[in-house]
Structure 1
Amino acid sequence: MFEATPRLLVISPHLDDAVFGCGASLAGASRPRVCTVFTALPANDLHTDWDAQCGFTGALEAMTARIEEDKRALGVLGAAPYHLGFLDSQYAPDASESARPTRDAIAQALIDAIDEHRPDALLMPLGLFHSDHILVHEAACDAWLKRPDVPCYGYEEGLYRRMPGIVQQRMADLLERGIEATPYNPPLPAAAEMQRRDALKREAVRVYASQLKAFGDDGYDDVFMPERYWTLKLAEDRR
């Protein structure tokens, strides 16, 4: 898949999305880096329903544990973390206006990450369903359009991609903004290598114990289905 890419940069909205959507590809890449957007610790120790379902008593405990889980999960796959430090939307309503993430701010941070790491390929989320995912996708498109020479691919986020019609709607949205999306179907590695990557991905997914607790025993099966990618290119009239 992306094993021939020495400098692979994967954009992840939250601390698990890259592994859920791209874990097998990360396991096969030589020096992958995961750039996660929403990694900030909230100023106040808020209490949200999602954190409670994950077994946490407050936001600070939750984010501290998630960052540690993510470091260990990426370590399983041989990937390096890179945190942008924006605030997750579940904590934003109680934050000051200046602390709330904006599309422009995220886009500039992603441009800076691209310039710093000089990737041979960029993987961005398609931005399916979740407001944080949509915001990161839009900002990632803005960033890539400023650096269009970098080969770019979209990945379907695990869990959300199974929602009826949601991927098709994203394809229409991309075309409307002048970006063509084509299924990316490279030759697959040998069966033994695919089994190795799948096993590593399963191991990495299990590290996100707090998140899996909230999904329930059968709530995250989709992340183990084959990963799907789209080649993104500027439409002819945008070049």
Structure 2
Amino acid sequence: MHKDCLRPETASTACPLFVVSPHLDDAAFGCAALLAACPGACVCTVFAGLPAHPQSTQWDRAAGFDDSTQAMRERRREDDRALAHFGARAIRLPFLDGQYGALPDVGRLADEIAKAYECACTVDASLVVPLGVRHPDHMRVGEAWARLLRTGRVGSCIVYEDAIHRAARGAVEKRLAELEAGGLHAAPLDESWRPERLGARALSIRRRAILEYASQLRAFDSAFPADLARPERYWCVRRA
């Protein structure tokens, strides 16, 4: 499996992407402008499983839910509506959100992401992944895709900043330094893919999609958290 970083000249009515999203909102929060500019993507949410027994967590209560069953069902519906704005298709892995249980082993998680990628993509789709900062779930996904690169199962990937979590002081710089120290080189993606250059239509779609996640915005206690108004940033990462 060796699929290269997205090249600007590949933009067309079908621009293949396989986007890994830790939770049911992270792809829209972190790389919605890119999704809007590239219809037909697959969005693979990692922590989309439903706990066998309903749980009540502080985050879900803040989002307006009584328990995990109610929360995950509504969050999937929100995600369906958001992805429809992009013309994207949902793939949902059965791992549990960290608030509901232990995180999966990095090796197993890497294998499942790789299998979903291989099964879903019949063309040379670009693998798009979160940088993996601050939140334990995001960090575990970051460890998984880094393993795929280091073992040669993936040749390169596009990395997007984790919205909200990227705001922590020094989090992005620390993660980029860790990647370099681990034998992975991150280069800013070509200027042609800077979100502000993707056009007003893509940015409008981005905003509408983000607003579909009403429960999560409620938990953040904001109609539109300030960090979501910041430009998206991307890197191409490959082995050094």
Same-fold status (TM-score > 0.5): yes
Where does structure 1 differ by over 3 angstroms across 4 or more consecutive aligned residues?
A: 1-5, 188-193
Cα distance between partner residues in 2 of 1:129 and 1:189: 24
Q: Does 1:162 align with 2:167?
A: yes
Could you tell me whether the CA contact under 8 Å between 2:149 and 2:238 is conserved in 1?
no
Once the two structures are TM-superposed, the CA of residue 185 in structure 1 deviates from its matched residue by 3.2
**Structure 2 vs 1, CA of residues 52 and 220 (structure 1 numbering), >3 Å: closer, same or farther?**
same
Report the 3-state secondary structure (helix = DSSP H, G, I; strand = E; otherwise coil) of the residue aligned with 2:199: helix
Q: Does 1:90 align with 2:93?
A: no
Percent identical: 38
Once the two structures are TM-superposed, the CA of residue 161 in structure 1 deviates from its matched residue by 1.1
**Structure 2 vs 1, CA of residues 193 and 154 (structure 1 numbering), >3 Å: closer, same or farther?**
closer
Report the 3-state secondary structure (helix = DSSP H, G, I; strand = E; otherwise coil) of the residue aligned with 1:34: strand
| Structure 1 portions without partners, runs of 5+ | 94-99
Range with greater deviation from structure 2 (40-49 or 218-227): 218-227
Could you tell me whether the CA contact under 8 Å between 2:45 and 2:90 is conserved in 1?
yes
The one-letter code sitting in structure 1 at the alignment partner of 2:163 is G
Once the two structures are TM-superposed, the CA of residue 165 in structure 1 deviates from its matched residue by 0.6
Partner of 1:226: 231
Cα distance between partner residues in 2 of 1:155 and 1:22: 6
Q: What value does the CA root-mean-square deviation take over the aligned residues?
A: 2.1
Correspondence 1:30-41 to 2 at 5 A:
30-41=39-50
Aligned mate of 1:70, from 71, 79, 82: 79
Deviation string, structure 1 residues 42-80 (Cα, Å, up to 9, x no partner): 011111000000000001000010011101101111111
Could you tell me whether the CA contact under 8 Å between 2:40 and 2:86 is conserved in 1?
no
Partner of 2:4: none
The number of equivalent residue pairs is 228
Once the two structures are TM-superposed, the CA of residue 6 in structure 1 deviates from its matched residue by 2.8
Partner of 1:217: 222
Could you tell me whether the CA contact under 8 Å between 1:123 and 1:153 is conserved in 2?
yes
Report the 3-state secondary structure (helix = DSSP H, G, I; strand = E; otherwise coil) of the residue aligned with 1:38: coil
Partner of 1:52: 61
The one-letter code sitting in structure 1 at the alignment partner of 2:232 is E
Could you tell me whether the CA contact under 8 Å between 2:195 and 2:232 is conserved in 1?
no
Deviation string, structure 1 residues 116-158 (Cα, Å, up to 9, x no partner): 1334311111101000000011011112343233x41111011
TM-score for both structures, normalised by structure 2 = 0.88
Cα distance between partner residues in 2 of 1:34 and 1:22: 11
Partner of 1:147: 153
Partner of 1:81: 90
TM-score for both structures, normalised by structure 1 = 0.89
